[in-house]
Structure 1
């Protein structure tokens, strides 16, 4: 896209969102990053993302690291470039921890050795795509896209949270001060409707709460085929009908 740019957003750590209804089994895929100045790249969208992917690898990945490998177009470019640097001998002894089936497949094609994520695993650095990042605060939303087969949002979020350093790679249009769209929320299947009603009351008049389907038309109840994640959760898409004024509101 003409006039677009791409950026990566480094962070030392991130913390999960704080909301009272988390105690009822709700797990948001929204995360908050500390403020950091973005690094913009060249004018065209595809070259920008590639440049941002290269900068992410060159600036943060060192030999001997365990690296969380994100999913999405920009992360795929970073995985390809990381594999190229390893083949050239510039980086050695890298172990990749994929966040999705697609990132595992891309890493395998790029020659990056892989390992499975475990709760006690030390991850030195991770990169990922984000759906939208709030300008100034760097609050980020992930999880809007359709899940890859076998992908786990909980594992993806765990890898992002565990990493000692993190970078999101996004296009210019995803870095904005005017937030809109949806915020995906994981909720236990057993009490999903009760939690959905609580969220609906919380954002009454500002958002609609729809259960995500696996296929077909979406709707408040998730259509005929509501999505169930591999851990047994539904995904509630909190769809804001007006701008999101405070993404990090308690």
Structure 2
């Protein structure tokens, strides 16, 4: 069951987002005038320019609306779940970045105090420091009260998630530490746009494998999902063939990352995770399942909150 929350941002909190929207609109609408009227077939250049300008403005407005919706979801996540004195896991991704910025604003204004942030990547650590959030390092023994993060995709009904599809600026995949943080959290929330909440999950699932005999591991995964998925080794930069090219991604632990790309909808993410964990050589994967969580969804100017029991959040 979805809980719909209508959010009205005070002018001072929304000013930054409105300024972003205004800047985007004005920049996309600026077009150099033509010195004279010309024709393309039976259509004048001026008419084409008007159509292009309307299209550009519409696209810019849609993009700005998406950012504002994600900001609303990030804001609600912080307001609903974060309390003073908490240790908070700081996720990675656009929505998490907005939540980190808003959390910093709440701290500076004195609405929250004593927050310790545990970043899941170098990028989220940098964002937290810029926002004025005290940060600590993650260890397996770290007690985390609440964590938020983006998800690449969320499976309807089960709320199983896939993380780790995105490539970071450093090239180092962050999903291993990110997954450790969300598994250690007493409470977890994924912040997503509505297009990431789907019934049939497709696309890639990152799988961390030992570098020794990684080809044997890849072939076993390929046999497991024969006809349903392709297995590619992730390159350190750019794109490459199935073997990852001349510069495959190697983690600081010396592991490789395989992208298992499903070409047909996955009926059950939890079963895929269970199957992967039985394969020798698999260290971890990007599926987060069987962990109680909330999903905060940005949709059409509203924020919808779903819990793992499909019931109303108290």
**The two structures share one fold, judged by TM-score above 0.5:** yes
Scaled by the length of structure 1, the TM-score of the pair is 0.82
Q: Which runs of 5+ in 2 are unaligned?
A: 8-61, 275-314
* Partner residue in 1 for 2:146: 125
Distance 1:157 1:148, change over 3 A: farther
1:207 and 2:229 correspond:
yes
Q: Do 2:116 and 2:136's aligned partners in 1 also have CA atoms closer than 8 Å?
A: yes
* Partner residue in 2 for 1:50: 71
* Partner residue in 2 for 1:173: 195
Q: Deviations over 1:192-238 (max 9, x none)?
A: 11110110000001111000001233221111111011121111000
* Partner residue in 2 for 1:28: none
Select the residue among 96, 102, 111 that pairs with 1:75.
96
Match of 2:240, SS state, is coil
Q: Do 1:212 and 1:237's aligned partners in 2 also have CA atoms closer than 8 Å?
A: yes
- Deviation of the 1:57 alpha carbon: 0.3
* Partner residue in 2 for 1:141: 162
CA distance in 2, matches of 1:155, 1:65: 19
Scaled by the length of structure 2, the TM-score of the pair is 0.65
Q: Which runs of 5+ in 1 are unaligned?
A: 1-35
Q: Do 1:135 and 1:177's aligned partners in 2 also have CA atoms closer than 8 Å?
A: yes
Q: Do 2:164 and 2:173's aligned partners in 1 also have CA atoms closer than 8 Å?
A: no
Distance 1:151 1:193, change over 3 A: closer
Select the residue among 222, 231, 247 that pairs with 2:269.
247
* Aligned CA-pair RMSD: 1.7
- Matched pairs, number: 215
* Partner residue in 2 for 1:92: 113
* Partner residue in 1 for 2:15: none
- Deviation of the 1:118 alpha carbon: 1.6
Kindly name which structure, 1 or 2, has the bigger radius of gyration based on alpha carbons.
Answer: 2
Q: Do 1:63 and 1:92's aligned partners in 2 also have CA atoms closer than 8 Å?
A: yes
1:105 and 2:126 correspond:
yes
Counting helix residues as a fraction of each chain, which structure ranks higher? 2
- Deviation of the 1:121 alpha carbon: 1.1
Q: Deviations over 1:110-163 (max 9, x none)?
A: 100111112211100000000000111111000001034255432221111001
Q: Do 2:250 and 2:257's aligned partners in 1 also have CA atoms closer than 8 Å?
A: yes
